[in-house]
Amino acid sequence: MKRIVILGGGTGGTLAANRLRRDFGDGAEITVVDQDDDHVYQPGLLFVPFGMADADDLVRSRPGQLADGVGYHRGEVRHVDIDTDRVHLADGTTLGYDVLVIATGARLLPEETDGLTGPGWRSHVDTFYDLDGAIGLASALEAFHGGRLVVNVIDLPVKGPLAPLEFCFLADWYFTERGLRDQVELSYVTPLDAAFTEPVAARTLAGLLEAKGIELVTGFNTGEVDGTRDRLVSYDGREVAFDQAVVVPLHGGASYVDRSPGLGDELGFVRADEHTLRSAVRDNIFVLGDAASLPTSKVSSATHFAGEVLTRNVGQFLDGRELDASFDGHANCFVESGFGKALLIDFNYDTEPLPGHYPADAGLPLLKESRLNHLGKLMFPWLYWHSLLPGRDLPGLSSAMPRAGKQFPLPIPR
């Protein structure tokens, strides 16, 4: 009987447990560990401040999402001993493993930015990246009748890197619907030198910001959030004033990673082979989702696609066979642009988001606003709870990024 321990009962841990249970049946003892029982549908947090989602509908039971036969242990991880293959929990429990899957996601570190959790925090300085913040922002936006609203990304990497832009687009729609858009100044403040990390998508998104009258402030590395003077202050001394700040805090890996010698990097994320998802520290440790230090976006679609390869490789490893090195960094994301429209981007390690269609020539439009993409975004919660988390394959959608339908640039003549 092989022992598989999965740390984290979020997206990655849940879909991995359910896939492995299907693959192994009673041939493996699978245990999921998490410190609380609340599974939050994190993509839905974006909609709460605008009254487009009810916070209560985003939360379900963690063990309730696991297949019959998967064990669940509620407890805080104290540390992982990678030399003895044991997980030590704060309640004194010790779990030995033959394979460890780390899927504990990323945590917010607002205290790491000077002033962020000081005066104004959870009032006119807040974040929609956790449930309490999203609920608080719903009240704050309802009471906001004019002034400067600033959306600020402190640093990368972050979960859902396009969500801050989506917040800007939805704020434009929200205040337009309330007849207040002329009284609200919107600004997007980013440490990047463009609206996004990849040039084609960056140009498209910057164009949308400009068309909607949203200021784009680039190269702004926030060193302090001054809630008394209502200013963002960059390390180079620049300042951006605000009446309401919506901040995306620094992210790091789970705290137990820092307490586990040799396990993580300086940010608390776990290095892994970008194609097999096996960790760089031990052959019997695999990493999935936001907990991994990989050159792809921290979004649920990437976790879903990577999960197919990871669970296959757990079986390959336990059978003593060569690992499948087929994960190509595939990720996609619907980008809400307001007024009942959205864009879709699809990319991998080697291919940036490009125009075209997904998953083939007759599919959803890429890098283009459409009502169809918006409906796709609205349908995703159902797919999340009923297909992605149970570990089911989506018909016609494989883990590898499809090339069909994309408009690849012509090669440069030599």
- Rounded CA separation 100/85 (Å): 8
pLDDT tens, 257-282?
Answer: 999 999 999 999 999 999 999 999 99
> Above pLDDT 70, what percent of the chain?
99
- Rounded CA separation 210/194 (Å): 13
Cβ–Cβ under 8 Å, residues 35 and 75: yes
Give the burial string for 39-62 (b: 16+ CB within 10 Å, else e): bbbbbbbbbbbbeebebeebeeeb
pLDDT tens, 276-311?
Answer: 999 999 999 999 999 999 999 999 999 999 999 999
pTM of the complete model beyond 0.95: yes
Nearest residue to 336 (alpha-carbon basis) of 53, 39, 11 = 53
- Rounded CA separation 130/109 (Å): 12
State the pLDDT confidence band at 396, using cuts at 50, 70 and 90.
confident
pLDDT tens, 155-172?
Answer: 999 999 999 999 999 999
pLDDT tens, 317-373?
Answer: 999 999 999 999 999 999 999 999 999 999 999 999 999 999 999 899 999 999 999
- Rounded CA separation 33/87 (Å): 10
As beta bridge partners, residue 152 has: 189, 247
Name residue 148's amino acid: R
Name residue 303's amino acid: T
pLDDT tens, 217-247?
Answer: 999 999 999 999 999 999 999 999 999 999 9
Locate all alpha helices (DSSP H) within 241-318, ordered by sequence. Answer: 255-258, 300-318
Cβ–Cβ under 8 Å, residues 158 and 248: yes
- Rounded CA separation 179/260 (Å): 53
* Cα distance between the two ends of the chain: 59
Mean pLDDT estimate for the chain: 96
Question: Helices H, strands E: what count in the chain?
Answer: 7, 26
pLDDT of residue 395: 76
- Rounded CA separation 21/70 (Å): 7
